[in-house]
Structure 1
Amino acid sequence: MSIDVEAAIFDLLGQVPAGKSVSPEQVARAVDPEGWRRLLGHVRATARGLARQQRLVITRHGKPADPEDFKGVYRLRLPDAPPQGDTP
């Protein structure tokens, strides 16, 4: 099931403009439109794991949140692209 959740997260994030986020509810509904509520804890756990791997950013009030210590309403977005500077 975590593969389904992970795939849904990245599929949804691929559909929104760069820098925009999706809600955990959107992810859960994409995986199981009927029983999405029971998946919210799984979405949270998967998001925390992806954030630890720096593949995802968990935000609260539009700012990055610590994946080890966040509470309440949150959203998910892709990490910012690394700066494109000149390399010697």
Structure 2
Amino acid sequence: MTPRDSAGIDQQLEATILGLLAARAATSTICPSDAARAVGGEHWRDLMEPARRAARRLVDAGEVVITQGGSVVDPATAKGPIRIRKAT
């Protein structure tokens, strides 16, 4: 993947995260893997870290929050599985 391709994938992942969340109830969450699968198809595992980064950018933009165990966490310090929810 070239840097140019990377920027396109980043935008796709952000848009996909927002689209997946828009299709669900306001309190529902998604996993970064949902966006990675939607964008990457069979190669979704390669997009897991880019999907997590896309979620962190959306947190910075005030669009979403990242949760663990149902509680909002700081994406900079979150370790392990995370969920993404629309910001309220």
Using the size of structure 2 for normalisation, the TM-score is 0.86
Aligned to 1:56: 64
1:46 to 46, 54, 71: 54
Alignment of 1:63-82 (within 5 A): 63-80=71-88
Aligned to 2:39: 31
Q: Give, as a single letter, the amino acid of the residue that structure 2 aligns with 1:15.
A: A
Q: Runs in 1 of length 4+ with deviation above 2 angstroms?
A: none
1:12 aligns with 2:20: yes
Report the count of equivalent residues: 80
Which consecutive residues of structure 2, in runs of 5 or more, have no partner in the other structure?
Answer: 1-8
- Could you tell me the percent identity over the aligned residues? 36
* Higher helix proportion: 2
* Higher strand proportion: 2
* Deviation (angstroms), 1:56: 0.9
| RMSD, aligned CA | 0.8
Which consecutive residues of structure 1, in runs of 5 or more, have no partner in the other structure?
Answer: 81-88
